[in-house]
């Protein structure tokens, strides 16, 4: 028990705070605190084969956890709380004197890297006990619930089990799932597996990816554009995975827009009702204008972006697309189409699409393509366009500066 007492004493010493001035206390209440609820085994240390970390010989730290958890602690505005289930701690199957030396060593190691946990919660029950304090239940974390000082909606639970994901759901927080499969513990959740997908905002086993996700603001935007000719809704997530839901009423146009989503690795929803009984012109042109505008909106302040993008993909045609999200619209278009239609899309509208996108996004675009197959030629252009965008919107977390000598884009 001496080790446990030592741990508690060190914790109280490390995490004690000086009383804030009276005015600061009021500001603190106004500024709700976000929390990272971090699992231990399988998240910041590797979980041993027998699932019980009861000796230093079994201790192995999770790759990159020191480096990037330290950056999170020092650069970002989150409280850190360790939340861990330790099955049967204090019983014959898991004596306390085998737990605390390892626990203390882990805390000291992270403290040496500048990572201090504001709170540590350890549940000692077995799964079959169904204890209210055992993850995914929230009995250990009541201080955060219905507390106006905490912003749980913008807090995260980091863990490698579905119990961690369900804990996030039960808290009203979001989950960063550090496993590529459902993993151990899936029998302990009360939710249906598919119900947890909405809670998972990131699934990765890489701490660098977690740091970048937490540091970089989400770049998503939506737009609704209504005229006498068209009714358009677009939702864009620049940092998505390539999911798309597209319906413009023109099948070939849908296919081309899907290329932007898939090859640009961005989530894109486009729903259009246009006056197709008249012709395709308004639907294609207005969609491009709205798409450009939603890109400009999602890019926001443009800090850290590459700004420029280019690509030279090969199909049976060669297409070259260069783009600059520099705030000035311009289009160079050097390609010709011999057919009047590809699918049910007039080839003359390809130019109009990119010109309208350039106007809406305030982007400079240069497009060249050559080849014989008209279908392949335009598809290669859209794929190259998507790849160019992907390169241009990429952000560098180490260089969050504006890529311009003018000081504005």
Residues belonging to the active site: 39, 41
Are residues 29 and 73 in contact, defined by beta-carbon separation less than 8 angstroms? no
The C-alpha atoms of residue 315 and residue 295 are separated, in whole angstroms, by: 27
The dihedral region occupied by 48, where left means phi > 0, alpha psi between -120 and 50, and beta the remainder, is beta
Q: What are the distances in angstroms from CA 235 to CA 224, 269, 277, 282?
A: 9, 5, 26, 20
C-alpha–C-alpha distance, residues 374 and 342, integer Å: 7
Closest to 172 measured CA to CA, from 151, 197, 189: 151
Q: Is 295 helix (H, G, I), strand (E, B) or coil?
A: helix
Ramachandran quadrant class, 42 (left: phi over 0; alpha: psi -120 to 50; beta: rest): left
Percentages helix, strand, coil for the chain (3-state, rounded to 5) are 40, 20, 40
Could you give the maximum distance between any two Cα atoms of the chain, in Å?
84
**Residue 136, preceding bond cis, omega within 30 degrees?**
yes
């Amino acid at each position: 028990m001496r080790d446990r007492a030592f741990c508690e004493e060190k914790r109280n010493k490390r995490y004690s705070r000086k009383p804030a001035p009276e005015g600061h206390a009021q500001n603190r209440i106004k500024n709700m605190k976000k929390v990272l609820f971090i699992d231990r085994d399988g998240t910041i240390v590797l979980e041993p084969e027998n699932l019980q970390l009861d000796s230093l010989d079994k201790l192995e730290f999770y790759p990159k956890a020191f480096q990037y958890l330290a950056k999170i602690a020092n650069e970002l505005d989150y409280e850190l709380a360790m939340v861990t289930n330790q099955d049967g701690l204090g019983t014959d199957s898991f004596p306390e004197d085998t737990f605390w030396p390892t626990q203390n060593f882990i805390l000291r190691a992270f403290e040496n890297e500048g990572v201090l946990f504001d709170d540590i919660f350890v549940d000692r029950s077995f799964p079959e006990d169904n204890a209210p304090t055992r993850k995914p239940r929230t009995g250990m974390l009541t201080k955060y619930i219905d507390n106006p000082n905490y912003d749980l909606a913008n807090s995260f639970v980091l863990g490698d089990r579905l119990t961690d994901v369900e804990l996030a759901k039960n808290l009203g927080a979001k989950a960063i799932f550090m496993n590529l499969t459902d993993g151990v513990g899936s029998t302990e959740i009360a939710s249906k597996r598919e119900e947890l997908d909405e809670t998972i905002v990131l699934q990765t086993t890489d701490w660098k990816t977690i740091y970048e996700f937490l540091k970089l603001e989400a770049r998503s935007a939506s737009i609704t554009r209504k005229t006498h000719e068209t009714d358009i809704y677009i939702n864009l997530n620049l940092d998505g995975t390539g999911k798309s839901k597209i319906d413009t009423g023109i099948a070939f146009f849908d296919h081309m827009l899907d290329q932007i989503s898939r090859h640009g690795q961005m989530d894109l929803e486009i729903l259009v009702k246009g006056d197709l009984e008249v012709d395709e012109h308004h639907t294609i042109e207005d969609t491009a204008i709205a798409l450009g505008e939603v890109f400009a909106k999602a890019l926001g302040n443009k800090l850290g972006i590459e700004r420029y993008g280019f690509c030279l993909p090969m199909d049976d045609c060669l297409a070259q697309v260069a783009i600059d999200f520099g705030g000035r619209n311009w289009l160079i278009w050097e390609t010709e189409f011999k057919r009047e239609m590809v699918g049910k899309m007039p080839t003359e509208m390809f130019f109009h699409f990119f010109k309208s996108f350039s106007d809406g996004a305030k982007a400079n675009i240069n497009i060249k393509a050559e080849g014989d197959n008209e279908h392949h030629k335009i598809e290669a252009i859209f794929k190259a366009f998507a790849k160019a965008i992907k390169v241009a919107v990429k952000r560098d977390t180490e260089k969050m500066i504006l890529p311009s000598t003018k000081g504005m884009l």
